[in-house]
């Protein structure tokens, strides 16, 4: 038998690694991506009060303001928030894992 001992096992492992790299990265801790959940906070009757309190229309509020409103109204500490004027809601994203 010619070749280096263990050479076949090495090339078989390399082939599997190239075919499915995510399974090999998992062992190195590189595949620990956070999992997010999206949600909506509908503010139909509260928009006028919020705009009066903040001094700006909902469309002009910064993301930080929207995150504060989420925390005040629902107790949610979100990663991101965006105003959706079509549905009168704050669309948010929360890390769950």
H or E stretch at 64 = helix 63-74
Return the higher-pLDDT residue of 43 and 24: 43
Q: What is the mean pLDDT of the chain?
A: 84
What pLDDT, on a 0 to 100 scale, did the predictor assign at position 35? Answer: 84
* pLDDT over threshold 80, residue 94: yes
What pLDDT, on a 0 to 100 scale, did the predictor assign at position 80? Answer: 93
Q: What order do you get walking across the sheet with 80-84 strand by strand?
A: 36-42, 89-95, 80-84
pLDDT band of residue 29 (cuts 50, 70, 90) is: low
* pLDDT over threshold 70, residue 97: no
């Amino acid at each position: 038998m010619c070749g280096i001992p263990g050479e076949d096992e090495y090339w078989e492992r390399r082939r599997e690694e190239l075919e499915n790299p995510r399974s090999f990265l998992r062992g190195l801790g590189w595949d620990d991506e956070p999992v997010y959940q999206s949600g909506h906070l509908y503010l139909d009757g509260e928009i006028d009060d919020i705009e009066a309190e903040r001094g700006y229309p909902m469309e002009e509020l910064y993301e930080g303001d929207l995150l504060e409103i989420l925390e005040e109204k629902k107790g949610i500490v979100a990663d991101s928030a965006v105003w959706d004027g079509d549905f009168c809601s704050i669309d948010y994203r929360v890390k769950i894992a």
